[in-house]
């Protein structure tokens, strides 16, 4: 393959550490007039334009954005493909919302044409919003995952997904069995896991919709293949937690159910965790598991406020999740806008640099992919964004009043959304242009 090399000149910002561990100032790198050099899908250099431009070989094209910010692509650690058509479903909290809206909507994925159509819409929506990697729930139907991975593969995206396993407490038209869920997951793993930049996640929906037999087989899959992910939900809603106690009276609590079936580990991501207790956070951290913080969903479904300071105390890996369709936006900028308010309501702060960390490097660490995505370090995948300071008249005017990159970043996260994302690049290729 011929060498392809291209350079991008703009203000450039990336997170390089967790502000909770190193302090805010040591957590990021900012180049007011920076240059990002991309070679064959990877980043080959990052620095000040004045230092890098003289050494750039003749003929390398330089794209210049005088009024924009380059950041790493955003990472969504929790989202549901088959809920694309039901964002904003009125009136219910989690369990009634699932029965009234979610299950009927997901049932449409029995039709492979429908799965293909929604997978296309879904991936376009991710990229329009600057999300270059997502950890994705399919429906119970294997074709949901086939449709998603086929569409992601065409664009060489780094994506993680799995078919939902659920063999009880859901309508017959939407359940598998312990055995069929295992076999179908296995076939999908064989077909997709490790192909290009795709990874498979074993996906028991949540403890109430899996029998002990199914949870056992989910754990078994994790031992049969290296580097598989596991994704599920935990402690999102008080009624849900009560139900888990009734279904698994022999276990100490909700997390202990998953622990018992050996579903905790370095590639395990638990969505929500709004009502986790101190001991559970400690156990998640000890096993290297991660939590997906999903503020728009937690507000929309009236679930509660995620306790980020408690997670930080335990050095628990936390990523950010949109949780569409419980969440109300594909935009991680809008998700951060709501995350800030979650902290405000608990008398705490969310600094813009912690927010940037959550949307990029924090997500990458939650997924154990920090050597490939989440920063702009040379050697990593060239998955990055161009954010437009003039995306809307208000943003443009407001940013003219900003006196620091901290303020600019915070305003981008308050006023920003899909309109802010001018271009999205994945593996060095432009995959979205506004
Ligand atoms: N718990 C089990 N299934 C779901 C789901 O689809 N969305 C959310 N938010 N929580 C869940
Ligand atoms: Zn969810």
Tell the residue nearest (CA) to atom 1 of ligand 1.
233
- What is the pTM (predicted TM-score) of this model? 0.98
pLDDT at 14 over 80: yes
Which whole number is the average pLDDT over 275-302? 98
Cα 143 vs. chain centroid, distance in angstroms? 21
Q: Which residues contact 404 (CB under 8 A, 6 or more apart)?
A: none
pLDDT at 8 over 90: yes
pLDDT of residue 23: 98
What average pLDDT does the chain have? 98
The closest-lying atom of ligand 1 relative to the alpha carbon of residue 208 is: 2
Give pLDDT tens digits for 318-363: 999 999 999 999 999 999 999 999 999 999 999 999 999 999 999 9
The closest-lying atom of ligand 1 relative to the alpha carbon of residue 233 is: 1
Q: DSSP string spanning 156-212?
A: T--EEEE-EE--SSS-GGG---HHHHHHHHHHHHHHHTTSTTEEEEEEE--GGGS-H
Distance CA 111, CA 182 (A): 21
Among all ligands shown, which has an atom nearest to the Cα of 231? 2
Reported as a pLDDT band with limits 50, 70 and 90, residue 162 is very high
Q: DSSP string spanning 27-92?
A: GEEEEEEEEEEEETTEEEEEEEHHHHGGGSPTT-EEEEEEEEEEEEPEEEEEEEGGGGGGSS--S-
pLDDT of residue 344: 98
CB atoms within 5 A of ion ligand 2 belong to 271, 323
Distance CA 168, CA 214 (A): 10
* CB of 31 closer than 8 Å to CB of 45: no
Instruction: Kindly state if the Cβ of 78 falls inside 6 Å of ligand 1.
Output: no
Q: Where are the alpha helices (DSSP H) in 287-345?
A: 295-300, 308-313, 332-344
Which whole number is the average pLDDT over 239-260? 98
Instruction: Kindly state if the Cβ of 327 falls inside 6 Å of ligand 1.
Output: no
Q: Which residues contact 317 (CB under 8 A, 6 or more apart)?
A: 285, 288, 289, 290, 291, 362, 365, 366
Distance CA 329, CA 416 (A): 12
Tell the residue nearest (CA) to atom 3 of ligand 1.
205
Q: 30 CA distance to ligand 2 centroid (A)?
A: 34
Instruction: Kindly state if the Cβ of 206 falls inside 6 Å of ligand 1.
Output: yes
Reported as a pLDDT band with limits 50, 70 and 90, residue 41 is very high
Reported as a pLDDT band with limits 50, 70 and 90, residue 1 is low
pLDDT of residue 336: 98
Give pLDDT tens digits for 377-408: 999 999 999 999 999 999 999 999 999 999 99
Which whole number is the average pLDDT over 113-135? 98
Give pLDDT tens digits for 131-149: 999 999 999 999 999 999 9
Q: 98 CA distance to ligand 1 centroid (A)?
A: 7
Instruction: Kindly state if the Cβ of 420 falls inside 6 Å of ligand 1.
Output: no
Instruction: Kindly state if the Cβ of 73 falls inside 6 Å of ligand 1.
Output: no
pLDDT at 69 over 90: yes
Instruction: Kindly state if the Cβ of 80 falls inside 6 Å of ligand 1.
Output: yes
pLDDT of residue 2: 64
pLDDT of residue 3: 73
pLDDT of residue 406: 98
Edge to edge, the sheet with strand 42-48 lists 42-48, 28-39, 5-15, 61-72, 384-388, 421-426, 429-433
The closest-lying atom of ligand 1 relative to the alpha carbon of residue 137 is: 6
Pocket test for ligand 1, best of 206, 257, 302 (most atoms within 8 A of CB): 206
């Amino acid at each position: 393959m011929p060498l392809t090399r291209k350079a991008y000149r703009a203000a450039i910002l990336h997170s390089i550490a967790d502000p909770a561990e190193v302090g805010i100032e040591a957590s990021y790198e900012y180049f007011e007039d920076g240059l990002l050099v991309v070679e064959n899908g990877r980043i080959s250099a990052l620095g000040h334009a004045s230092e890098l431009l003289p050494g750039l070989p003749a003929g390398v094209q330089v794209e210049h954005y005088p009024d924009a910010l380059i950041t790493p692509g955003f990472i969504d650690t929790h989202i549901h493909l088959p809920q694309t058509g039901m964002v904003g479903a009125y009136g219910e909290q989690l369990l009634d919302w699932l029965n009234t809206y979610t299950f009927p909507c997901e049932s449409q994925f029995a039709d492979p044409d429908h799965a293909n159509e929604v997978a296309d819409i879904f991936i376009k929506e991710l990229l329009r919003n600057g999300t270059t990697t997502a950890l994705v729930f399919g429906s119970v139907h294997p074709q949901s995952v086939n449709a998603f991975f086929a569409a992601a593969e065409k664009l060489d995206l780094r994506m993680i997904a799995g078919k939902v396993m659920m063999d009880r407490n859901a309508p017959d038209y939407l359940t598998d069995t312990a055995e069929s869920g295992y076999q179908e997951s296995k076939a999908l793993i064989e077909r997709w896991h490790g192909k290009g930049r795709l990874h498979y996640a074993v996906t028991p929906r949540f403890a109430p919709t899996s029998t002990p037999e199914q949870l056992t087989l989910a754990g078994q899959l994790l031992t049969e293949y290296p580097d598989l992910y596991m994704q599920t939900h935990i402690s999102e809603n008080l009624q849900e937690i009560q139900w888990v106690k009734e279904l698994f009276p022999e276990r100490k609590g909700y997390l202990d159910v998953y622990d018992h079936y050996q579903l905790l580990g370095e590639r395990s991501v638990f969505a929500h965790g709004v009502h986790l207790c101190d001991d559970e956070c400690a156990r998640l951290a000890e096993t290297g598991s991660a939590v997906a913080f999903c503020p728009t969903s937690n507000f929309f479904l009236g679930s509660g406020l995620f306790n980020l300071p408690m997670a930080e105390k335990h050095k628990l890996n936390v990523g950010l999740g949109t949780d569409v369709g419980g969440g109300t936006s594909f935009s991680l900028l809008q998700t951060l806008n709501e995350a800030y308010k979650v902290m405000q309501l608990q008398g705490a702060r969310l600094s813009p640099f912690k927010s940037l960390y959550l949307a990029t490097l924090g997500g990458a660490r939650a997924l154990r992919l920090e050597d490939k995505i989440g920063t702009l370090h040379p050697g990593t995948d060239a998955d990055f964004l161009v954010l437009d300071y003039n995306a809307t008249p208000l943003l443009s005017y407001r940013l003219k009043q900003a006196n620091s990159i901290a303020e600019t970043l915070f305003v981008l996260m308050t006023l920003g959304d899909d309109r802010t994302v001018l271009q999205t690049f994945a593996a060095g290729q432009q995959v979205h242009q506004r």
